[in-house]
Structure 1
Amino acid sequence: MIFKKLNRAAKLALSIVFLLPTPCFSQIRVVGITDGDTLTVYDQIANVQKKIRISAIDSPEKKQAFGQDAKKTLSDLCFDKTVEIKYIDTDRYGRTVADVACGGIDAGAYMVGKGMAWVYDKYSSGHEFLYPIQQQAKAATLGLWGYRPDLPAVAPWEWRKLKNKQTTPITE
């Protein structure tokens, strides 16, 4: 393998590429799934794990209706697979926000298309192609769109606001 022939300095230089925010693609393996829009990857060259938040989507929280289904759907698509990561940004929690492709399949589009995530309006710039996919999933009542026909699905960002209001003590 070519990496065996590289000296330590060359390996270190290649490993640093993974750590820097760059628009290029890196190939790494998924070692964990946090929920329907966040995964953990491992770069063997750099010997580092990193949390990746899939850009432009928001899936139900773990304790929210359909949260575990969303996590399983992302796991079935990406877990223990080599993925392509295209850096977009770093979020306030220090996670890399990126476009993720698992087996050549855009994970964000896949999750939205299966009805396992919303297009995250606040962060959707450059990902407008996801809206028609979401509309198709809604029309077909896939995933969370068919979960409770009598009750509209609650977007995760709204669910988090409601949950925070319930747990925040009221002071007068």
Structure 2
Amino acid sequence: MGFARRAGRRSLLISALLTLAVVLTAWAMTSLVKPGQFPAEAMASELPTTTAALTGPATVSDGDGLRLNGERIRLQGVDAFELHQTCGTGPCGQAARDALQRLIAGRHVACEPVDTDRYGRTIAYCHVDGVDLGEQMVLQGHALAFRRYSREYIDEEEVARRNRAGAWTSDFQNPADWRRDHPRG
């Protein structure tokens, strides 16, 4: 008889807790919902948002960096050759900067921020007329897929390697390794 009584009490307790959870959820949803708004929309409106998209004319600083509306932007998922880096093809860092300048060519850039790096730069996907700048830099052989931070653009890097695009026509050092071997200071 004691076991049945404990099981009954446990069942009542579980029922009460579930009822309380349903009531609290319903209360929370009705307090968030504005007239004409679905509950999911209400909850989303209460969540913190990421930085808004940045658009406008941009200036290029190197093969994976630019300035847009006063903000320093670094292209998400790519690691371009460093500005002073040379490869078997010559000054591949300058070639990377020049390639990004050609892709932008004075047109408006639209960037969707995803993060901030340790240097305070905004990490973003950037496009010009719908063209993904990071993807193009990798496809043209002026940048590598930045595997340390992203799995994106790996297929594009393989295409560039197969096509011997940009720096892939000769030997080069991975930009991350070049930075390690050439510390600033």
Change (3 A) 1:23 1:94: closer
Query: Corresponding residue for 1:131?
Result: 154
Contact in 2 for aligned 1:21/1:89 (Cα 8 Å): no
Aligned residues: CA RMSD = 1.9
**In structure 2, what residue type is equivalent to 1:106?**
D
**Matches of 1:60 and 1:21 in 2, distance apart?**
33
Secondary structure of 1:161's counterpart equals helix
Paired residues for 1:22-171 under 5 Å = 22=50, 24-30=52-58, 32-42=59-69, 49-65=70-86, 66-125=92-151, 127=152, 130-146=153-169, 148=170, 152-164=171-183
TM-score, normalised via structure 1 length: 0.72
Contact in 2 for aligned 1:33/1:79 (Cα 8 Å): no
**Matches of 1:155 and 1:68 in 2, distance apart?**
15
**In structure 1, what residue type is equivalent to 2:177?**
E
C-alpha deviation, 1:109, in angstroms? 0.3
Q: How many pairs were matched up?
A: 133
C-alpha deviation, 1:131, in angstroms? 1.0
C-alpha deviation, 1:21, in angstroms? 6.9
For structure 1, the 5+ residue unaligned runs are 1-19, 43-48
Higher helix share: 2
For structure 2, the 5+ residue unaligned runs are 1-47, 87-91
Contact in 2 for aligned 1:83/1:101 (Cα 8 Å): yes
**In structure 2, what residue type is equivalent to 1:83?**
V
C-alpha deviation, 1:76, in angstroms? 0.7
C-alpha deviation, 1:140, in angstroms? 0.9
**Matches of 2:105 and 2:149 in 1, distance apart?**
25
Change (3 A) 1:135 1:119: same
Query: Corresponding residue for 2:26?
Result: none
**Identical-residue share of aligned pairs (%):** 30
Higher strand share: 1
Secondary structure of 1:123's counterpart equals coil
C-alpha deviation, 1:75, in angstroms? 0.4
**In structure 2, what residue type is equivalent to 1:153?**
F
**Matches of 1:105 and 1:24 in 2, distance apart?**
19
Which structure is larger by alpha-carbon Rg, 1 or 2? 2
